[in-house]
Chains A and B, each alone.
Chain A
Amino acid sequence: MADWTPEQPLVSVRDVHKSFGELEVLKGVSLDVMKGEVICIIGPSGSGKSTLIRCINALNDIQKGSILVEGQEVHDPDLDKLELRKKVGMVFQQYNLFPHKTALENIMMAPLKVLKEPKSEVEKRARSLLAKVRLDGKEDSYPGELSGGQQQRVAIARSLAMQPDVMLFDEVTAALDPETVKEVLVTIKDLAQDGMTCILVTHEMGFAREVADHIYFTDRGVIVEHGPPATFFDDAKDPRTKEFLSQIL
């Protein structure tokens, strides 16, 4: 693990198989993400997109294959999960903020309790992160007092406060009103432009085309086709990809 260098993929997924009981959700998925890259995973619902990124930060286990994050095997039983979660930030569809804490406290909690960093430093960082997601002034609001889009941006700031090396976004705009989707997408785009490595599961095709370096299309547990956005959207080869794109675009 110590021999990982930035020239190697930051996240490397190799032949991953995952079943829930009888149901095989991932049937041999492989992909690589380099540092600073933004990749989007798209595909019909039930194709295993969310499961795949949940496996990357060990929220789900896998039956076969390997997932390396900075050269460290995620599904090693002896893995220090804390070490992994310091590197991998995750944002969920349902925001999942802690409802009993204010926006600022939500962001500060993990750095204080998990990383045991000094409070003044954490607070400074939390405030600047709130400003970065354009929510300065909402420090003392509780999640219940914020709109969905605002909550999701707090959730992004909360993950960033752990200073991860890669961010996972699991359909983060799927639960939002159309008019608030944009504010969250702008936040993610800012992040991507700052050089954050991002893996997104999304249904926002326009957005994927704009920010992604690479698009992966999954269907029924396998990656059917992948490529840079221009090739992928305008020159899809596989009939399944073509069919999916014709329904969406």
Chain B
Amino acid sequence: MLDLFREFFIQLAEDQPRWNFIFFYDARQWARVVEGLYYTLLLSVACVIFSVVIGIVGAWAQGSPSRLLRSIVQGYIQFFRNTPPFVQLLFFYFALGQFTPTYSPDGWLQVPIISNVGWAIISLSFFAGAFNVEIFRAGIEAVPESTREASESLGFSRLQTYTEVVLPLAFRVSLPALNNNLVNLVKTTTQAFAIAVPELLYQSVTIWNDFPSAQYPTMLMLFCVYIGLVGILVLGMHRWEKAMQIPGYGARA
């Protein structure tokens, strides 16, 4: 069966020289795709988690009584939301990367403690995190003041009101917007290509540089993989939204 599959694509490449699906029959190119997929997944999962944490902490800090803390968060949002993520990535890796300490594993090489993969995760998490702060803030603001008052008048402290009442409600309101931002984030991980993170786009470009006949098929493969990845993310988020839905509250079916 597998042989038949490979035979078909070898034959296709011979008949149609621009449609060389080389990764389907050449084990080395297949290995590149798999490695690329691994790094894409790594970036996506790490950035989703960190950016959500940044969002929650940032939204909390935005409601802080300290003006300094609020201005810091505001400055952070303005910077990361209003500049291109691509430039942020380059700046983090090349400019800030200059100042990171290095270590030497073998006595010869000097390796920075934050790798290009590390910088990609940091930079993209901060980028998406800036949007998440605003998304969670909108959710928090959607919780009526009177609900907070009810909680206070029952004797809840400010922190308890926040964790028991405001956050659970705000989170539900925020989910659809969060969903959108995370979809964008997964697609933006392709920009890590620029600092040579061996994710899927990087691997794809090396494949088609080595085998120009494989360019269109590799692009097709990229589309399919991202449709699949984002599809899984969206499906997961929708399930979660459903599971958290409160009868008679918020979005009605």
Contacts and interface: CB of A to CB of B under 8 A. Distances in A.
A72 interface: no
A98 B155 contact: no
Interface stretch (A21-29, A141-149, A220-228): A141-149
Nearest to A146: B248
Interface stretch (B39-47, B49-57, B163-171): B163-171
B247 interface: yes
A114 B154 contact: yes
Interface of chain B, helix or strand or loop or mixed? Answer: helix
A59 B155 contact: no
Which range contains the number of B residues in contact with the other chain?
20 to 34
Given A99-B169, A113-B164, A144 B249 contact: yes
Contact of B153 (A57, A97, A143): A57
Contacts of B72: none
A158 interface: yes
A109 interface: yes
A113 B76 CA distance: 35
Interface stretch (B89-97, B106-114, B144-152): B144-152
Contacts of A90: 150, 153
A142 B249 contact: yes
Interface residues of A, number: 31
B156 interface: yes
A145 B247 contact: yes
A143 B250 CA distance: 12
Contact of A143 (B151, B154, B249): B249
A85 B247 contact: no
B160 interface: yes
A191 interface: no
A113 B247 CA distance: 24
Interface string A151-167: 00001001100100000
B248 A142 contact: yes
Nearest to A140: B247
B136 to A, nearest CB: 16
A114 B169 contact: no
Interface in A184-240: none
Given A100-B249, A113-B164, A85 B154 contact: yes
A110 B149 contact: no
B154 A142 contact: no
B246 interface: yes
Interface in A80-117: 81-82, 85-86, 88-90, 92, 94, 96-100, 109-110, 113-115
A96 B164 CA distance: 14
B172 interface: yes
A219 B205 CA distance: 78
B144 to A, nearest CB: 8
Contacts of B249: 99-100, 142-144
A175 B32 CA distance: 65
Given A59-B149, A114-B155, A114-B160, A100 B248 contact: no
Given A144-B246, A145-B248, A94 B154 contact: no
Nearest to B150: A96
A100 B172 contact: yes
Nearest to A83: B155
A144 B168 CA distance: 16
B140 to A, nearest CB: 14
Contacts of A89: 153
Contacts of A100: 168-169, 172, 246, 249
Nearest to B171: A100
Contacts of A142: 246-249
Nearest to A57: B153
Nearest to A142: B247
Contacts of B157: 82
Contacts of B151: 98
Given A90-B153, A92-B146, A110-B156, A98 B247 contact: no
5 contacts: A85-B153, A100-B249, A109-B154, A114-B155, A144-B247
Given A82-B155, A114-B160, A142-B246, 14 more contacts: A59-B152, A82-B157, A85-B152, A85-B153, A85-B154, A88-B153, A96-B144, A100-B172, A100-B246, A114-B154, A115-B155, A144-B246, A144-B249, A145-B248
A-B pairs with the 10 shortest C-beta distances? A144-B248, A96-B150, A85-B155, A110-B154, A114-B155, A99-B249, A144-B249, A90-B153, A142-B247, A145-B248
